[in-house]
Amino acid sequence: MKKIIILILIIIPFLGFTQNSEYKIASYKVAGMKAPNTHYIGEAWLNSLLRADGDLNYNITKASFKANSTLDWHKHATSQVIIIVEGEGYYQERGKEAIILKVGDVIICDKDIEHWHSSTKENDVTYLALYGGSQPTTWTEVLSQDYYDSIARMLKKN
């Protein structure tokens, strides 16, 4: 009986800190699941924070890429917003120069614009991707390691 009372006294203070299951809560701090190694080079984790549903017609995904990792060229049926929250990354739209994105940068990629984004050669990157609807990403071309390396060299000189 004494053990039960002690256990109850230990558990009761923590009951006030539990989340109410009536709310839909996702944690930004969770790394997510390791992404299958398709359409990118390197290591990536994805955490789907919000899925388009009913009145909310957009998605929010946290993506984390280890250094020297990149997505292939792709496009979306809606505009995409990328918010860099940790590290540094590269970003390029087809026909334009590649740039370096840093913590706090927010970039909008218009719908149907081919682009790619990644970590830098030396730094991991974590970003929030906001995009609309339920249509899947259209993957258009493999981004080779040689091309990625050439972008890294070019941006390092600047």
CATH code of residue 58: 2.60.120.10
Q: 16 in a domain, yes or no?
A: no
Instruction: State residue 8's pLDDT score.
Output: 45
Q: Residues 6 or more apart from 58 whose CB is under 8 A from it? A: 50, 52, 78, 130, 131, 132, 133
Q: Which residue has the tokens 């940068």?
A: 105
Torsion, Cα 54 71 89 114, to 10 degrees, reads: -70
Q: 132 in a domain, yes or no?
A: yes
Q: 61 in a domain, yes or no?
A: yes
Alpha helices by DSSP H, the chain:
2-15, 145-157
Biggest CA-to-CA distance, the chain? 74
Q: 148 in a domain, yes or no?
A: yes
Report residue 24 CA to chain centroid gap: 20
Q: pTM value? A: 0.82
Q: Which range marks the domain in which residue 125 is found?
A: 32-157
Q: Is the pLDDT of residue 142 over 80?
A: yes
Q: 14 in a domain, yes or no?
A: no
- Least confident interval from 2-11, 57-66, 128-137: 2-11
Domains in the chain, number: 1
Alpha-carbon distance of 93 to 76, in angstroms, equals 12
- % of the chain at pLDDT higher than 90: 64
Q: 80 in a domain, yes or no?
A: yes
Q: How far are the Cα atoms of 64, 87, 125, 134 from residue 104, in angstroms, in the given order?
A: 15, 10, 12, 27
Q: 43 in a domain, yes or no?
A: yes
Q: Which residue has the tokens 């919000």?
A: 50
Q: Which whole number is the average pLDDT over 21-32?
A: 79
Q: 89 in a domain, yes or no?
A: yes
Alpha-carbon distance of 30 to 41, in angstroms, equals 22
Based on C-alpha coordinates, what's the Rg of the chain? Answer: 20
Q: Which residue has the higher pLDDT, 48 or 119?
A: 119
